[in-house]
Protein backbone atom coordinates (compact mmCIF):
# COMPACT_ATOMS: atom_id res chain seq x y z
CA UNK A 1 0.00 0.00 0.00
CA UNK A 2 2.89 2.34 0.70
CA UNK A 3 5.18 4.02 -1.81
CA UNK A 4 8.67 2.71 -1.06
CA UNK A 5 11.42 2.81 -3.63
CA UNK A 6 11.40 6.61 -3.63
CA UNK A 7 14.58 6.89 -1.64
CA UNK A 8 16.51 8.31 -4.57
CA UNK A 9 13.77 10.83 -5.23
CA UNK A 10 13.93 11.87 -1.60
CA UNK A 11 17.65 12.40 -1.82
CA UNK A 12 17.13 14.65 -4.83
CA UNK A 13 14.27 16.57 -3.24
CA UNK A 14 16.29 17.49 -0.16
CA UNK A 15 19.63 18.06 -1.82
CA UNK A 16 20.39 20.99 0.46
CA UNK A 17 21.03 18.72 3.43
CA UNK A 18 24.45 17.50 4.48
CA UNK A 19 23.51 13.86 4.56
CA UNK A 20 22.85 13.89 0.86
CA UNK A 21 26.54 14.43 0.25
CA UNK A 22 27.48 11.31 2.19
CA UNK A 23 29.13 8.45 0.29
CA UNK A 24 26.71 6.35 -1.76
CA UNK A 25 28.74 3.18 -2.02
CA UNK A 26 30.24 0.70 0.38
CA UNK A 27 33.00 3.20 1.02
CA UNK A 28 30.50 5.60 2.60
CA UNK A 29 28.93 3.17 5.05
CA UNK A 30 29.97 4.73 8.33
CA UNK A 31 26.91 4.81 10.59
CA UNK A 32 25.49 8.16 11.67
CA UNK A 33 26.25 9.72 15.04
CA UNK A 34 24.10 8.65 17.96
CA UNK A 35 20.71 10.29 18.09
CA UNK A 36 19.72 12.69 20.83
CA UNK A 37 16.10 11.99 21.74
CA UNK A 38 13.75 14.96 21.57
CA UNK A 39 11.06 15.79 24.06
CA UNK A 40 8.39 15.07 21.44
CA UNK A 41 9.67 11.54 21.03
CA UNK A 42 9.59 10.74 24.73
CA UNK A 43 7.64 7.60 25.63
CA UNK A 44 4.03 7.87 26.71
CA UNK A 45 3.07 7.45 30.32
CA UNK A 46 0.57 5.08 31.79
CA UNK A 47 -1.40 3.98 28.73
CA UNK A 48 -2.76 0.42 29.16
CA UNK A 49 -0.88 -1.92 26.83
CA UNK A 50 1.84 0.64 26.16
CA UNK A 51 5.42 -0.21 27.03
CA UNK A 52 8.10 2.26 28.04
CA UNK A 53 9.72 2.45 24.61
CA UNK A 54 6.60 3.31 22.61
CA UNK A 55 5.53 6.65 21.21
CA UNK A 56 3.76 9.40 23.16
CA UNK A 57 1.05 10.06 20.56
CA UNK A 58 -0.81 7.16 18.93
CA UNK A 59 -2.06 9.20 15.95
CA UNK A 60 0.35 9.52 13.04
CA UNK A 61 0.49 9.22 9.26
CA UNK A 62 2.47 7.82 6.36
CA UNK A 63 3.56 10.15 3.58
CA UNK A 64 5.39 10.50 0.30
CA UNK A 65 8.84 11.82 1.19
CA UNK A 66 9.31 13.41 -2.24
CA UNK A 67 6.66 15.94 -1.12
CA UNK A 68 8.17 16.52 2.31
CA UNK A 69 8.45 20.30 1.92
CA UNK A 70 4.69 20.65 1.37
CA UNK A 71 3.91 18.33 4.29
CA UNK A 72 6.45 19.46 6.89
CA UNK A 73 4.28 22.12 8.62
CA UNK A 74 1.50 19.61 9.21
CA UNK A 75 3.83 16.79 10.22
CA UNK A 76 5.16 18.89 13.08
CA UNK A 77 1.63 18.80 14.51
CA UNK A 78 1.95 14.99 14.77
CA UNK A 79 5.08 15.08 16.92
CA UNK A 80 5.39 12.10 19.23
CA UNK A 81 3.76 9.72 16.75
CA UNK A 82 5.33 6.95 14.68
CA UNK A 83 5.60 6.33 10.96
CA UNK A 84 7.33 3.74 8.83
CA UNK A 85 9.40 3.52 5.69
CA UNK A 86 9.54 0.49 3.43
CA UNK A 87 12.99 -0.37 2.13
CA UNK A 88 14.22 -3.01 -0.30
CA UNK A 89 17.55 -4.80 -0.20
CA UNK A 90 17.54 -4.86 -3.99
CA UNK A 91 17.02 -1.08 -4.08
CA UNK A 92 19.68 -0.20 -1.51
CA UNK A 93 22.24 -2.67 -2.86
CA UNK A 94 21.53 -2.77 -6.59
CA UNK A 95 24.89 -4.38 -7.21
CA UNK A 96 26.46 -6.74 -4.71
CA UNK A 97 28.75 -4.76 -2.43
CA UNK A 98 27.62 -1.34 -3.68
CA UNK A 99 25.33 0.07 -0.97
CA UNK A 100 23.47 3.38 -1.24
CA UNK A 101 22.12 4.63 2.10
CA UNK A 102 21.73 8.32 1.17
CA UNK A 103 17.97 8.50 0.74
CA UNK A 104 17.20 6.42 3.83
CA UNK A 105 19.67 8.41 5.91
CA UNK A 106 17.77 11.54 4.95
CA UNK A 107 14.42 10.00 5.89
CA UNK A 108 15.77 8.87 9.25
CA UNK A 109 17.29 12.29 9.93
CA UNK A 110 14.14 14.18 8.97
CA UNK A 111 11.93 11.88 11.05
CA UNK A 112 14.10 12.50 14.08
CA UNK A 113 13.95 16.27 13.52
CA UNK A 114 10.15 16.08 13.38
CA UNK A 115 10.01 14.20 16.67
CA UNK A 116 8.38 11.26 14.87
CA UNK A 117 9.60 7.73 15.57
CA UNK A 118 10.62 5.83 12.45
CA UNK A 119 9.93 2.12 11.96
CA UNK A 120 11.35 0.19 9.00
CA UNK A 121 9.85 -2.51 6.79
CA UNK A 122 12.70 -4.59 5.39
CA UNK A 123 11.89 -6.25 2.06
CA UNK A 124 14.16 -8.20 -0.27
CA UNK A 125 12.73 -7.38 -3.70
CA UNK A 126 13.87 -9.44 -6.69
CA UNK A 127 17.43 -9.05 -7.97
CA UNK A 128 20.89 -10.60 -7.78
CA UNK A 129 20.28 -11.35 -4.08
CA UNK A 130 17.28 -13.57 -4.80
CA UNK A 131 17.73 -14.73 -8.38
CA UNK A 132 14.82 -15.01 -10.75
CA UNK A 133 12.81 -12.37 -12.59
CA UNK A 134 10.10 -10.20 -11.12
CA UNK A 135 6.54 -10.98 -12.18
CA UNK A 136 4.96 -7.85 -10.73
CA UNK A 137 6.20 -4.30 -11.22
CA UNK A 138 4.22 -1.42 -9.80
CA UNK A 139 4.39 2.34 -9.76
CA UNK A 140 6.93 4.87 -10.94
CA UNK A 141 9.50 3.34 -8.56
CA UNK A 142 9.16 -0.04 -10.34
CA UNK A 143 8.54 -1.80 -7.05
CA UNK A 144 8.45 -5.60 -7.33
CA UNK A 145 7.45 -8.51 -5.19
CA UNK A 146 10.01 -10.02 -2.82
CA UNK A 147 11.57 -13.45 -3.13
CA UNK A 148 13.56 -15.72 -0.85
CA UNK A 149 17.27 -14.81 -0.75
CA UNK A 150 19.62 -17.32 -2.31
CA UNK A 151 22.03 -16.84 0.61
CA UNK A 152 20.42 -16.39 4.04
CA UNK A 153 23.81 -15.47 5.50
CA UNK A 154 24.12 -12.55 3.09
CA UNK A 155 20.55 -11.52 3.95
CA UNK A 156 21.35 -11.55 7.64
CA UNK A 157 24.42 -9.41 7.03
CA UNK A 158 22.22 -6.86 5.23
CA UNK A 159 19.69 -6.89 8.06
CA UNK A 160 22.49 -6.42 10.57
CA UNK A 161 23.79 -3.42 8.66
CA UNK A 162 20.30 -1.85 8.67
CA UNK A 163 19.90 -2.27 12.43
CA UNK A 164 23.42 -1.04 13.17
CA UNK A 165 22.95 2.03 11.02
CA UNK A 166 19.46 3.11 12.06
CA UNK A 167 19.38 2.12 15.72
CA UNK A 168 21.27 5.37 16.52
CA UNK A 169 18.46 7.28 14.79
CA UNK A 170 16.00 5.77 17.25
CA UNK A 171 14.65 3.00 15.02
CA UNK A 172 13.58 0.13 17.27
CA UNK A 173 10.96 -1.73 15.24
CA UNK A 174 11.62 -3.71 12.08
CA UNK A 175 8.86 -5.38 10.08
CA UNK A 176 9.85 -8.24 7.82
CA UNK A 177 8.31 -7.80 4.37
CA UNK A 178 4.89 -6.31 3.59
CA UNK A 179 1.50 -7.99 3.05
CA UNK A 180 3.02 -11.36 2.20
CA UNK A 181 -0.45 -12.79 1.58
CA UNK A 182 -0.39 -11.01 -1.82
CA UNK A 183 1.69 -12.59 -4.65
CA UNK A 184 2.53 -9.08 -5.82
CA UNK A 185 4.42 -8.61 -2.53
CA UNK A 186 5.79 -12.09 -1.79
CA UNK A 187 6.72 -14.79 -4.29
CA UNK A 188 7.41 -17.58 -1.82
CA UNK A 189 5.38 -19.93 0.34
CA UNK A 190 4.20 -19.36 3.90
CA UNK A 191 6.97 -21.71 5.03
CA UNK A 192 9.55 -19.63 3.15
CA UNK A 193 8.26 -16.52 4.85
CA UNK A 194 8.49 -18.10 8.30
CA UNK A 195 12.08 -19.13 7.60
CA UNK A 196 12.95 -15.60 6.48
CA UNK A 197 11.38 -14.04 9.59
CA UNK A 198 13.25 -16.37 11.91
CA UNK A 199 16.56 -15.51 10.24
CA UNK A 200 15.83 -11.80 10.41
CA UNK A 201 14.59 -11.94 14.01
CA UNK A 202 17.71 -13.75 15.18
CA UNK A 203 19.89 -11.08 13.59
CA UNK A 204 17.85 -8.10 14.77
CA UNK A 205 17.87 -9.22 18.40
CA UNK A 206 21.56 -10.09 18.35
CA UNK A 207 22.39 -6.67 16.89
CA UNK A 208 20.10 -4.58 19.12
CA UNK A 209 18.57 -6.27 22.18
CA UNK A 210 16.14 -3.33 22.51
CA UNK A 211 14.77 -3.80 18.99
CA UNK A 212 11.43 -5.45 18.26
CA UNK A 213 10.46 -7.66 15.34
CA UNK A 214 7.15 -6.93 13.58
CA UNK A 215 5.20 -9.15 11.18
CA UNK A 216 4.60 -8.13 7.56
CA UNK A 217 1.19 -6.61 8.13
CA UNK A 218 -1.39 -8.86 6.51
CA UNK A 219 -3.65 -6.89 4.16
CA UNK A 220 -6.92 -5.31 5.24
CA UNK A 221 -8.96 -7.60 2.96
CA UNK A 222 -7.18 -10.69 4.28
CA UNK A 223 -7.98 -9.68 7.85
CA UNK A 224 -11.64 -9.45 6.88
CA UNK A 225 -11.49 -12.99 5.52
CA UNK A 226 -9.83 -14.09 8.75
CA UNK A 227 -12.63 -12.51 10.79
CA UNK A 228 -15.30 -14.44 8.87
CA UNK A 229 -13.34 -17.70 8.68
CA UNK A 230 -12.79 -17.83 12.44
CA UNK A 231 -16.51 -17.42 13.13
CA UNK A 232 -17.46 -20.05 10.54
CA UNK A 233 -15.02 -22.53 12.06
CA UNK A 234 -16.55 -21.87 15.47
CA UNK A 235 -20.03 -22.66 14.12
CA UNK A 236 -21.15 -19.03 14.45
CA UNK A 237 -22.29 -18.70 10.86
CA UNK A 238 -24.90 -15.92 11.27
CA UNK A 239 -22.28 -13.82 13.11
CA UNK A 240 -19.77 -14.60 10.35
CA UNK A 241 -22.14 -13.38 7.65
CA UNK A 242 -22.95 -10.20 9.61
CA UNK A 243 -19.26 -9.51 10.21
CA UNK A 244 -18.42 -10.09 6.54
CA UNK A 245 -21.18 -7.72 5.43
CA UNK A 246 -20.10 -5.00 7.88
CA UNK A 247 -16.43 -5.35 7.05
CA UNK A 248 -16.70 -5.47 3.26
CA UNK A 249 -19.64 -3.12 2.66
CA UNK A 250 -17.49 -0.93 0.34
CA UNK A 251 -15.42 -3.75 -1.16
CA UNK A 252 -18.00 -6.05 -2.74
CA UNK A 253 -17.20 -6.43 -6.43
CA UNK A 254 -14.00 -4.38 -6.31
CA UNK A 255 -11.85 -7.47 -6.88
CA UNK A 256 -14.14 -9.54 -9.03
CA UNK A 257 -15.12 -12.78 -7.35
CA UNK A 258 -12.61 -12.42 -4.53
CA UNK A 259 -15.01 -10.21 -2.50
CA UNK A 260 -18.51 -11.22 -3.62
CA UNK A 261 -21.78 -10.25 -2.00
CA UNK A 262 -22.65 -12.74 0.75
CA UNK A 263 -26.09 -13.39 2.20
CA UNK A 264 -25.87 -17.07 3.17
CA UNK A 265 -23.51 -19.77 4.42
CA UNK A 266 -22.84 -21.37 1.02
CA UNK A 267 -21.86 -18.04 -0.51
CA UNK A 268 -19.56 -17.26 2.40
CA UNK A 269 -17.83 -20.62 2.24
CA UNK A 270 -17.27 -20.18 -1.50
CA UNK A 271 -15.79 -16.73 -0.91
CA UNK A 272 -13.41 -18.04 1.74
CA UNK A 273 -12.41 -20.94 -0.48
CA UNK A 274 -11.14 -19.04 -3.52
CA UNK A 275 -7.48 -19.46 -4.34
CA UNK A 276 -6.65 -15.89 -3.34
CA UNK A 277 -8.52 -15.98 -0.05
CA UNK A 278 -7.25 -19.44 0.86
CA UNK A 279 -3.72 -18.15 0.35
CA UNK A 280 -4.47 -15.16 2.59
CA UNK A 281 -5.78 -17.41 5.35
CA UNK A 282 -2.65 -19.58 5.19
CA UNK A 283 -0.38 -16.55 5.55
CA UNK A 284 -2.54 -15.20 8.35
CA UNK A 285 -2.16 -18.53 10.17
CA UNK A 286 1.63 -18.49 9.73
CA UNK A 287 1.79 -14.92 11.00
CA UNK A 288 -0.13 -15.92 14.11
CA UNK A 289 2.16 -18.92 14.69
CA UNK A 290 5.17 -16.56 14.61
CA UNK A 291 3.42 -14.39 17.20
CA UNK A 292 2.58 -17.40 19.35
CA UNK A 293 6.14 -18.73 19.45
CA UNK A 294 7.41 -15.15 20.05
CA UNK A 295 9.54 -15.04 16.92
CA UNK A 296 7.62 -11.81 16.30
CA UNK A 297 7.17 -9.23 19.06
CA UNK A 298 4.55 -6.88 17.59
CA UNK A 299 1.42 -7.52 15.53
CA UNK A 300 0.92 -5.17 12.60
CA UNK A 301 -2.61 -4.49 11.34
CA UNK A 302 -3.75 -2.88 8.07
CA UNK A 303 -7.32 -1.54 7.90
CA UNK A 304 -8.98 0.42 5.08
CA UNK A 305 -12.64 -0.43 5.63
CA UNK A 306 -15.79 1.31 6.91
CA UNK A 307 -15.60 2.06 10.63
CA UNK A 308 -18.34 -0.51 11.34
CA UNK A 309 -15.72 -3.15 10.50
CA UNK A 310 -13.56 -2.15 13.47
CA UNK A 311 -15.65 -4.05 16.04
CA UNK A 312 -15.39 -7.48 14.35
CA UNK A 313 -11.71 -6.85 13.67
CA UNK A 314 -11.02 -6.10 17.34
CA UNK A 315 -12.91 -9.22 18.38
CA UNK A 316 -10.73 -11.25 16.03
CA UNK A 317 -7.51 -9.67 17.27
CA UNK A 318 -8.39 -10.29 20.92
CA UNK A 319 -9.07 -13.95 20.16
CA UNK A 320 -5.97 -14.63 18.08
CA UNK A 321 -3.21 -12.46 19.57
CA UNK A 322 -1.14 -13.88 22.45
CA UNK A 323 -1.45 -12.01 25.76
CA UNK A 324 1.02 -9.16 26.12
CA UNK A 325 1.72 -8.78 22.41
CA UNK A 326 1.33 -5.13 21.31
CA UNK A 327 -0.89 -4.47 18.30
CA UNK A 328 -0.12 -1.53 16.03
CA UNK A 329 -1.96 -0.34 12.93
CA UNK A 330 0.79 0.79 10.54
CA UNK A 331 -1.69 1.32 7.72
CA UNK A 332 -5.15 2.75 8.35
CA UNK A 333 -7.19 4.51 5.71
CA UNK A 334 -10.50 4.85 3.96
CA UNK A 335 -11.00 2.76 0.82
CA UNK A 336 -13.85 4.15 -1.25
CA UNK A 337 -13.61 3.37 -4.95
CA UNK A 338 -16.31 5.81 -6.06
CA UNK A 339 -15.04 8.48 -3.70
CA UNK A 340 -18.50 9.94 -3.13
CA UNK A 341 -19.51 11.50 0.17
CA UNK A 342 -18.96 15.05 1.32
CA UNK A 343 -15.65 15.98 3.00
CA UNK A 344 -17.29 16.54 6.40
CA UNK A 345 -18.73 13.00 6.40
CA UNK A 346 -15.45 11.46 5.32
CA UNK A 347 -13.57 13.40 8.01
CA UNK A 348 -16.06 12.32 10.68
CA UNK A 349 -15.68 8.72 9.56
CA UNK A 350 -11.90 9.02 9.89
CA UNK A 351 -12.34 10.19 13.50
CA UNK A 352 -14.63 7.25 14.27
CA UNK A 353 -12.23 4.72 12.74
CA UNK A 354 -9.09 5.84 14.57
CA UNK A 355 -10.97 6.47 17.83
CA UNK A 356 -12.47 2.98 17.86
CA UNK A 357 -9.06 1.47 17.11
CA UNK A 358 -7.26 3.31 19.89
CA UNK A 359 -10.10 2.62 22.34
CA UNK A 360 -9.75 -1.07 21.42
CA UNK A 361 -6.11 -1.17 22.48
CA UNK A 362 -4.30 -0.43 19.21
CA UNK A 363 -1.16 1.40 20.31
CA UNK A 364 -0.07 3.16 17.13
CA UNK A 365 -2.15 4.26 14.15
CA UNK A 366 -0.71 5.64 10.90
CA UNK A 367 -3.21 7.13 8.46
CA UNK A 368 -2.37 6.39 4.84
CA UNK A 369 -2.10 8.41 2.71
CA UNK A 370 -1.34 11.72 4.35
CA UNK A 371 -2.25 13.33 1.01
CA UNK A 372 -3.36 11.46 -2.06
CA UNK A 373 -1.37 11.54 -5.28
CA UNK A 374 -3.53 13.03 -8.07
CA UNK A 375 -1.42 11.16 -10.64
CA UNK A 376 -2.13 7.72 -9.21
CA UNK A 377 -3.03 4.80 -11.44
CA UNK A 378 -6.66 4.72 -10.28
CA UNK A 379 -7.18 8.26 -11.52
CA UNK A 380 -9.30 9.16 -8.49
CA UNK A 381 -8.95 9.44 -4.73
CA UNK A 382 -9.66 5.85 -3.82
CA UNK A 383 -7.97 6.27 -0.43
CA UNK A 384 -8.79 9.48 1.39
CA UNK A 385 -6.02 11.89 2.38
CA UNK A 386 -5.84 14.18 5.40
CA UNK A 387 -4.34 16.90 3.22
CA UNK A 388 -4.79 18.19 -0.29
CA UNK A 389 -1.99 17.20 -2.69
CA UNK A 390 -0.29 20.57 -2.13
CA UNK A 391 -0.24 20.08 1.65
CA UNK A 392 -3.24 22.27 2.53
CA UNK A 393 -5.14 20.91 5.54
CA UNK A 394 -8.55 19.36 5.04
CA UNK A 395 -11.13 18.95 7.78
CA UNK A 396 -9.79 15.44 8.29
CA UNK A 397 -6.27 16.77 8.79
CA UNK A 398 -7.37 19.30 11.40
CA UNK A 399 -9.33 16.60 13.18
CA UNK A 400 -6.44 14.14 13.37
CA UNK A 401 -4.13 16.89 14.63
CA UNK A 402 -6.68 17.69 17.36
CA UNK A 403 -6.78 14.03 18.36
CA UNK A 404 -2.98 13.99 18.49
CA UNK A 405 -2.99 17.03 20.78
CA UNK A 406 -5.51 15.36 23.08
CA UNK A 407 -3.71 12.01 23.20
CA UNK A 408 -0.08 13.12 23.50
CA UNK A 409 1.38 11.83 26.78
CA UNK A 410 -2.14 10.89 27.94
CA UNK A 411 -3.65 7.65 29.21
CA UNK A 412 -6.11 6.05 26.79
CA UNK A 413 -9.28 5.26 28.74
CA UNK A 414 -12.32 3.39 27.31
CA UNK A 415 -15.73 4.82 28.10
CA UNK A 416 -17.26 3.43 31.32
CA UNK A 417 -19.65 0.51 30.88
CA UNK A 418 -22.83 2.35 31.95
CA UNK A 419 -22.66 4.69 28.93
CA UNK A 420 -20.98 2.38 26.41
CA UNK A 421 -24.33 1.35 24.93
CA UNK A 422 -25.37 4.98 24.38
CA UNK A 423 -22.08 6.61 23.41
CA UNK A 424 -19.10 5.59 21.35
CA UNK A 425 -15.69 7.09 21.79
CA UNK A 426 -12.66 7.25 24.05
CA UNK A 427 -11.12 9.44 26.73
CA UNK A 428 -7.59 10.75 27.02
CA UNK A 429 -6.55 11.51 30.60
CA UNK A 430 -3.54 13.69 31.33
CA UNK A 431 -2.94 14.94 34.83
CA UNK A 432 -6.29 16.01 36.22
CA UNK A 433 -7.77 16.77 32.80
CA UNK A 434 -9.92 14.48 30.64
CA UNK A 435 -10.56 14.96 26.93
CA UNK A 436 -13.38 12.84 25.55
CA UNK A 437 -14.14 12.08 21.90
CA UNK A 438 -17.82 11.17 21.72
CA UNK A 439 -20.61 10.37 19.29
CA UNK A 440 -24.03 8.79 19.69
CA UNK A 441 -24.25 5.01 19.43
CA UNK A 442 -27.67 5.35 17.79
CA UNK A 443 -29.63 7.89 15.78
CA UNK A 444 -30.83 9.51 19.00
CA UNK A 445 -28.97 12.48 20.50
CA UNK A 446 -27.43 11.99 23.93
CA UNK A 447 -26.98 14.83 26.43
CA UNK A 448 -23.85 15.11 28.56
CA UNK A 449 -24.74 17.54 31.38
CA UNK A 450 -22.54 20.55 32.03
CA UNK A 451 -19.35 20.00 34.02
CA UNK A 452 -17.73 22.90 35.91
CA UNK A 453 -15.13 24.42 33.61
CA UNK A 454 -16.05 22.08 30.78
CA UNK A 455 -15.38 23.08 27.19
CA UNK A 456 -16.78 21.45 24.07
CA UNK A 457 -16.87 21.73 20.29
CA UNK A 458 -16.38 19.98 17.00
CA UNK A 459 -13.21 17.92 16.64
CA UNK A 460 -10.53 20.16 15.16
CA UNK A 461 -12.31 23.45 16.02
CA UNK A 462 -11.83 25.82 18.96
CA UNK A 463 -13.67 24.67 22.08
CA UNK A 464 -16.23 26.84 23.83
CA UNK A 465 -17.77 26.81 27.29
CA UNK A 466 -20.17 23.90 27.80
CA UNK A 467 -22.40 25.77 30.23
CA UNK A 468 -25.62 24.21 28.99
CA UNK A 469 -24.22 20.72 28.56
CA UNK A 470 -23.27 18.96 25.34
CA UNK A 471 -25.66 17.36 22.88
CA UNK A 472 -23.92 14.43 21.21
CA UNK A 473 -25.16 13.28 17.79
CA UNK A 474 -23.60 10.94 15.26
CA UNK A 475 -20.97 13.61 14.49
CA UNK A 476 -17.99 13.28 16.86
CA UNK A 477 -17.37 16.08 19.36
CA UNK A 478 -14.63 16.88 21.86
CA UNK A 479 -15.43 17.52 25.53
CA UNK A 480 -12.67 18.63 27.90
CA UNK A 481 -12.88 19.15 31.65
CA UNK A 482 -10.68 19.00 34.74
CA UNK A 483 -12.66 16.05 36.06
CA UNK A 484 -12.38 12.23 36.02
CA UNK A 485 -14.13 10.54 33.11
CA UNK A 486 -16.65 8.76 35.34
CA UNK A 487 -17.74 12.04 36.90
CA UNK A 488 -18.13 13.78 33.55
CA UNK A 489 -20.40 11.01 32.25
CA UNK A 490 -22.11 10.13 35.54
CA UNK A 491 -25.45 11.76 34.70
CA UNK A 492 -25.60 11.20 30.94
CA UNK A 493 -29.15 11.13 29.67
Tell me which H or E stretch contains 302.
Answer: strand 299-303
C-beta separation of 343 from 395 below 8 A: yes
Provide the pLDDT for residue 48: 37
Closest CA to 126 of 194, 191, 184, 198: 184
C-beta separation of 352 from 34 below 8 A: no
C-beta separation of 101 from 25 below 8 A: no
- Position with higher pLDDT, 14 vs 347: 347
Distance of CA 436 to the CA centre of its chain: 23
Provide the pLDDT for residue 480: 96
Provide the pLDDT for residue 24: 33
**All domains of the chain in start order, with CATH:** 7-224+269-411 (3.20.20.80), 412-488 (2.60.40)
d(CA 293, CA 118): 26
Mean pLDDT over 90-114 rounds to 97
3-state secondary structure string, 416-442? Answer: CHHHHCCEEEEEEEECCEEEEEEEECC
d(CA 45, CA 47): 6
DSSP state, 186? B
- Put simply, whether the predicted model's pTM sits higher than 0.85 gets the answer yes
> Which tens digit of pLDDT belongs to each residue from 225-250?
999 999 999 999 999 999 999 999 99
d(CA 489, CA 473): 15
C-beta separation of 182 from 190 below 8 A: no
According to DSSP, the β-strands at 477-481 and 433-440 are antiparallel
Provide the pLDDT for residue 467: 82
d(CA 104, CA 92): 9
Mean pLDDT over 294-302 rounds to 98
Report the interhelical angle of 310-320 vs 343-359 (nearest 10°).
20
Provide the pLDDT for residue 54: 55
3-state secondary structure of 65: helix
Amino acid sequence: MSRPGRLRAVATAVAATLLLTAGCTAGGDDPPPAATPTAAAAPGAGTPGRTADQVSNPFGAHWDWSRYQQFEPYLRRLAGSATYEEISWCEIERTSGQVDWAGLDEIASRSRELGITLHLKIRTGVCWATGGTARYTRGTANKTESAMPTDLGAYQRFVRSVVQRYGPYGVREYAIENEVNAPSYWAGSPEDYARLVRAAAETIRATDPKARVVDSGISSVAYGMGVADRLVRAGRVPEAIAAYQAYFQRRVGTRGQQIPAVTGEAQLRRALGTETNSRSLRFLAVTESLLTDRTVDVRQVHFYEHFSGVAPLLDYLRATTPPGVPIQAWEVGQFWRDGDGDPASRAAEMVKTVTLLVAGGIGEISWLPLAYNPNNAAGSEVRYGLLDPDGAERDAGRMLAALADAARDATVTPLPAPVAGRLHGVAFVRGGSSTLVLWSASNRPVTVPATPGGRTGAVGSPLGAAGGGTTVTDVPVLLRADQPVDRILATVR
